[in-house]
């Protein structure tokens, strides 16, 4: 089924946050710090306050004190500066241009404090952390004994850089007050969560906060949390007693709205000559900020991927004077699968064993840690189908052996395993049959680009036995039945069972109906996951990805020519939007492998490439042929629809498959992402 919101988007009728302009709207612009650590000594705001059109200048000196203010965001409650690009003021004016001009007139004097910006020198200060309540450190078996029995070992370090999300739509908030009631249009993946947090920060009842986010122009995790701009927009609206629109420009998004933290991952693998793993040790150091702990859970996938009796995973946080990291495109799993899957490739070469055969030899029939059965796992079929579609059997195993005679390019083939946990939370939905025969589906979930409008229409139509073109879907409003954050690949798994249940109840009402035919009939359902499920089974998705690269032996440039990936994700509700999700994930995996790298000035903590001209993400010309498919085997143990989320699994493993292909093409192993021509040429010269 085509996207039901497709026409709105291609004609420009779909309204995104910054396109909402209430009557008498004023415009806010955030002023940001230019140092990494210190205190604001003085802010000269006189010229700004008297500039044309200015309605107010809010600084830590005159900002209202908020009863539920959190230290994790910068909302002008004190004069401390903890990172460069931190919000330190807001200018509100009649027009955006006037606000920008006035903000440029403000002069700031700082009292400097020493800053910590060197990641590696902070390793000695590392401390444990948790991720979504799960411990960062976990081990089972006896790692030392497992390594002592290993006949072959791999012991290497893999690094990934800071990466920023860069959705096409920047963050934006449009806030207005009616007495003590706040309405805010916000760029958010979590309207219900924003409602609760904004209510707590401003000290008002949750029912007094109304959050709207009808369409999101990409989030990738950075729009999951409440950030400074949302609170500052609401603060400014209350300050000037008018609606205020506050939109971040591109450079402002490098700092105050999160990023993927850098990682240093030490992998030790032990195996017998037959390829069977005897031990895995995965130690991760990742940076966080001085205002909040955020853990990049890179070793989490290592706990579930392979049948190894002895596994040790450890995480340590390193505080730096940088903005708080946050969830980014398969957080932890993307960076972690890169490291473990490159290490597995290195082990395969050390054993002179086919990389696919090595993974098959260590196939986990049950969860290696919990020993529980998976809710559904068909990774072996993904391996075989992917290898067949890719032509893996034709691969010459020797590095540097495959060349294209016409161009002189070196060709490399690599593969990796993909995985992502299957997540689900309670969700509610309403389904209403109107007197004219049209059906309304209403749910407080989000359309972040994955096709939620279409998916919910499809499930309701299927359950009711009617055509999907008779269904209207409303999303993105806290006045609708509550649903969880759209993150962690959980929207489909959480919301579709609620729509299915509400539609089933409506169908029963209609069948036994004796009411007035002019009345609407509706049903609302709340569906929660089985609390006992994780004690009975392990919910995970898996996949296999194969990559072909072409490397110019003189320039060191890398081109991903084709990727074949096969996924086991339960039921795919909509094949078109599902295919797009897989492809989008793979593109981000290519970006992780070859493009993205946030460069921080080691003296000032300023992001040196904080714009889209210098922060590299893939464009169409960077992407070759992508062949994706899913087994489409419903996982009825996981939920009543049989569907798991698919938004992030395409990212996982892809960077490793590309990295492994580059090694196969060149014989050069780059363990520090992104793989760029200078690293390949430097390694070539050293050889």
At residue 579, the pLDDT reads 97
Name 420's bridge partners.
Answer: 541
Do the bridges between strand 87-93 and strand 26-32 make them parallel or antiparallel, or are there none, so unpaired?
A: antiparallel
Q: State the CATH number of the domain containing residue 41.
A: 3.30.365.10
Cβ atoms of 564 and 546 within 8 Å: the answer is yes
CA atoms within 13 A on the CB side of 64: 17
Domain presence at residue 17: no
Residue 122, phi-psi category: left (phi > 0), alpha (psi -120 to 50), beta (remainder): alpha
Banded model confidence at residue 514, pLDDT cuts 50, 70, 90: low
Domain presence at residue 509: yes
Residues 288 and 403 grouped into a single domain? yes
Among 203, 236, 253, the domain-final residue is: 253
Residues 290 and 371 grouped into a single domain? yes
The edge-to-edge listing of strands for the beta sheet with 181-186 is 54-58, 87-93, 26-32, 244-247, 172-178, 181-186, 209-212
Domain presence at residue 381: yes
Domain presence at residue 612: yes
At residue 534, the pLDDT reads 87
Residue 46's alpha-carbon distances to 51, 102, 107, in angstroms, are 9, 10, 9
pLDDT in tens, 286-332: 999 999 999 999 999 999 999 999 999 999 999 999 999 999 999 99
Q: Given a cut of 60, is residue 584 above it in pLDDT? A: yes
* Number of compact structural domains in the chain: 3
Cβ atoms of 277 and 306 within 8 Å: the answer is yes
Which pair of tokens denotes residue 356?
Answer: 């696919």
Find, among 407, 417, 410, the residue nearest to 548 by Cα.
410
Banded model confidence at residue 405, pLDDT cuts 50, 70, 90: very high
3-state secondary structure of 135: strand
Out of 453-457, 516-520, 598-602, least confident range: 516-520
Q: Given a cut of 60, is residue 687 above it in pLDDT? A: no
At residue 191, the pLDDT reads 98
Find, among 327, 85, 254, 115, the residue nearest to 598 by Cα.
254
pLDDT in tens, 103-152: 999 999 999 999 999 999 999 999 999 999 999 999 999 999 999 999 99
Which residues, at least 6 apart from 660, have a Cβ–Cβ distance to it below 8 Å?
341, 342, 345, 355, 412, 414, 415, 416, 547
Residues 153 and 175 grouped into a single domain? no
Q: What's the pTM value of the predicted model, to 2 decimals?
A: 0.97
Residues 313 and 439 grouped into a single domain? no
Distance CA(187)–CA(486), nearest Å, equals 12
Distance CA(665)–CA(682), nearest Å, equals 16
Among 528, 544, 577, the domain-final residue is: 528
Residues 353 and 299 grouped into a single domain? yes
At residue 226, the pLDDT reads 98
Which residues, at least 6 apart from 163, have a Cβ–Cβ distance to it below 8 Å?
259, 260, 328, 592, 596, 597, 598
Among 231, 253, 275, the domain-final residue is: 253
Residues 132 and 278 grouped into a single domain? yes
Transcribe 440-460 into DSSP letters: EEE-B---SSS-HHHHHHHHH
At residue 513, the pLDDT reads 74
Cβ atoms of 416 and 653 within 8 Å: the answer is yes
Which pair of tokens denotes residue 559?
Answer: 């081109």
Cβ atoms of 367 and 301 within 8 Å: the answer is no
Cβ atoms of 489 and 647 within 8 Å: the answer is yes
At residue 595, the pLDDT reads 98
Distance CA(278)–CA(272), nearest Å, equals 7
Q: Just list the catalytic residues.
A: 648
Domain presence at residue 377: yes
Find, among 486, 455, 454, 491, the residue nearest to 645 by Cα.
491
In degrees and rounded to multiples of 5, residue 336 shows phi and psi of -70, -40
Average of pLDDT values for 593-610? 97
Residues 588 and 621 grouped into a single domain? yes
Count the neighbouring beta carbons within 10 Å of the beta carbon of residue 517: 8
Average of pLDDT values for 238-252? 98
Q: Given a cut of 80, is residue 685 above it in pLDDT? A: no
Domain presence at residue 19: no
Distance CA(427)–CA(431), nearest Å, equals 14
SS (H, E, C) 151-172: CEEEEEEEEECCECCCCCCCCE
| Domain of residue 40, residue span | 6-12+24-114+168-218+223-253
Cβ atoms of 18 and 96 within 8 Å: the answer is no
Residues 91 and 132 grouped into a single domain? no
Which residues, at least 6 apart from 619, have a Cβ–Cβ distance to it below 8 Å?
none
Residues 544 and 642 grouped into a single domain? yes
Distance CA(524)–CA(605), nearest Å, equals 50
Average of pLDDT values for 79-85? 98
Q: Given a cut of 70, is residue 238 above it in pLDDT? A: yes
Average of pLDDT values for 636-653? 98
Banded model confidence at residue 684, pLDDT cuts 50, 70, 90: low
Average of pLDDT values for 158-185? 98
Count the neighbouring beta carbons within 10 Å of the beta carbon of residue 568: 26
Cβ atoms of 355 and 344 within 8 Å: the answer is yes
Q: Given a cut of 60, is residue 686 above it in pLDDT? A: no
Name 281's bridge partners.
Answer: 268, 312
Residues 508 and 390 grouped into a single domain? no
Domain presence at residue 105: yes
Average of pLDDT values for 46-62? 98
Residues 276 and 412 grouped into a single domain? yes
Distance CA(469)–CA(467), nearest Å, equals 5
Which pair of tokens denotes residue 64?
Answer: 């209202």
Banded model confidence at residue 71, pLDDT cuts 50, 70, 90: confident
Which residues, at least 6 apart from 675, have a Cβ–Cβ distance to it below 8 Å?
558, 593, 594, 658, 659, 662
Average pLDDT, the chain: 97
User: Integer distance in angstroms from the first to the last C-alpha of the chain?
Assistant: 54
Q: Given a cut of 80, is residue 515 above it in pLDDT? A: no
Q: Given a cut of 80, is residue 56 above it in pLDDT? A: yes
Residues 444 and 575 grouped into a single domain? no
């Amino acid at each position: 089924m085509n996207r039901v919101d497709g026409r709105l988007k291609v004609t420009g009728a779909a309204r995104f946050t910054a396109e909402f302009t209430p009557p008498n709207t004023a415009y806010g612009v955030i002023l940001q710090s230019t140092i990494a650590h210190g205190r604001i000594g003085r802010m000269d705001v006189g010229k700004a306050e008297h500039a044309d059109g200015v309605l107010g200048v809010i600084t830590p000196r005159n900002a209202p004190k908020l009863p539920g203010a959190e230290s994790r965001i910068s909302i002008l409650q004190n004069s401390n500066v903890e990172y460069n690009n931190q919000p330190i003021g807001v200018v509100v004016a009649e027009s955006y241009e006037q606000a920008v001009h006035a903000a440029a007139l403000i002069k700031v004097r700082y009292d400097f404090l020493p800053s910590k910006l060197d990641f590696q020198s902070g390793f000695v200060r590392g401390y444990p952390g948790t991720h979504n309540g799960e411990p960062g450190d976990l081990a089972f078996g006896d790692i030392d004994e497992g390594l002592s029995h290993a006949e072959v070992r791999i012991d290497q370090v893999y690094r990934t850089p800071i990466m920023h999300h860069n959705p096409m739509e920047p963050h934006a908030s449009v806030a207005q007050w009616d007495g003590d009631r706040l309405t805010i249009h916000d760029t958010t993946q979590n309207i219900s969560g924003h409602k609760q947090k904004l209510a707590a920060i401003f000290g008002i009842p949750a029912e007094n906060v109304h959050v709207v986010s009808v369409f999101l122009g990409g989030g990738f995790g950075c729009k999951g949390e409440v950030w400074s701009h949302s609170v500052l927009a609401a603060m400014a609206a209350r300050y000037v007693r008018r609606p205020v629109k506050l939109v971040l420009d591109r450079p402002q998004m490098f700092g105050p709205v999160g990023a993927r933290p850098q990682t240093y991952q030490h992998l030790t693998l032990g195996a017998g000559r037959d390829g069977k793993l005897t031990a895995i040790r995965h130690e991760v150091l990742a940076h966080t900020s001085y205002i909040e702990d955020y853990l990049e859970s890179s070793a989490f996938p290592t706990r579930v991927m392979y049948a190894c009796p002895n596994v040790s995973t450890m995480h340590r946080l390193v505080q730096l004077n940088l903005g708080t990291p946050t969830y980014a495109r398969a957080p932890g799993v993307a960076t972690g699968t890169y490291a473990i899957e490159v290490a597995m490739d290195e082990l395969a070469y050390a054993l002179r064993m086919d990389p696919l055969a090595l993974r098959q030899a260590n196939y986990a029939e049950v969860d290696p840690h919990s020993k529980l059965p998976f809710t559904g796992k068909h990774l072996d079929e993904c391996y075989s189908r992917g290898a067949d579609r890719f032509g893996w059997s034709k691969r010459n195993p020797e590095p540097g052996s495959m060349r294209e005679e016409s161009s002189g390019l070196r060709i490399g083939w690599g593969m990796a395993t993909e995985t992502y946990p299957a997540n689900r939370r309670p969700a509610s939905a309403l389904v209403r049959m109107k007197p004219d025969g049209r059906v309304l589906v209403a749910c407080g979930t989000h359309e972040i680009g994955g096709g939620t409008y279409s998916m919910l229409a499809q499930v309701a139509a299927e359950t009711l036995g009617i055509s999907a073109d008779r269904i209207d879907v409303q999303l993105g409003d806290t006045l609708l039945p509550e649903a969880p954050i759209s993150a962690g690949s959980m929207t489909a798994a959480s919301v579709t069972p609620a729509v299915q249940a509400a539609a089933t109840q409506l169908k029963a009402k209609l069948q036994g109906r004796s009411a007035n035919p002019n009345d609407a009939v509706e049903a609302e359902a709340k569906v929660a996951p089985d609390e006992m499920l994780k004690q009975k089974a392990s919910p995970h998705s898996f996949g296999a990805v194969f990559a072909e690269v072409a490397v110019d032996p003189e320039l060191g440039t890398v081109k991903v020519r084709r990727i074949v990936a096969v996924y086991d994700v339960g039921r795919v509700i909509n094949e078109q939007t599902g295919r797009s999700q897989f492809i989008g994930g793979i593109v981000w995996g290519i970006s992780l492998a070859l493009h993205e790298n946030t460069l921080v000035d080691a003296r000032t903590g300023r992001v040196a490439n904080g714009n889209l001209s210098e922060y590299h993400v893939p464009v169409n010309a960077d992407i070759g042929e992508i062949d994706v498919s899913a087994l489409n085997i419903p996982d009825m143990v996981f939920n009543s629809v049989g569907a798991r989320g698919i938004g992030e699994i395409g990212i996982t493993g892809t960077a490793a498959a590309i990295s492994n292909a580059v090694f196969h093409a060149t014989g050069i192993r780059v363990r520090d992402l992104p793989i760029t021509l200078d690293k390949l040429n430097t390694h070539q010269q050293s050889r």
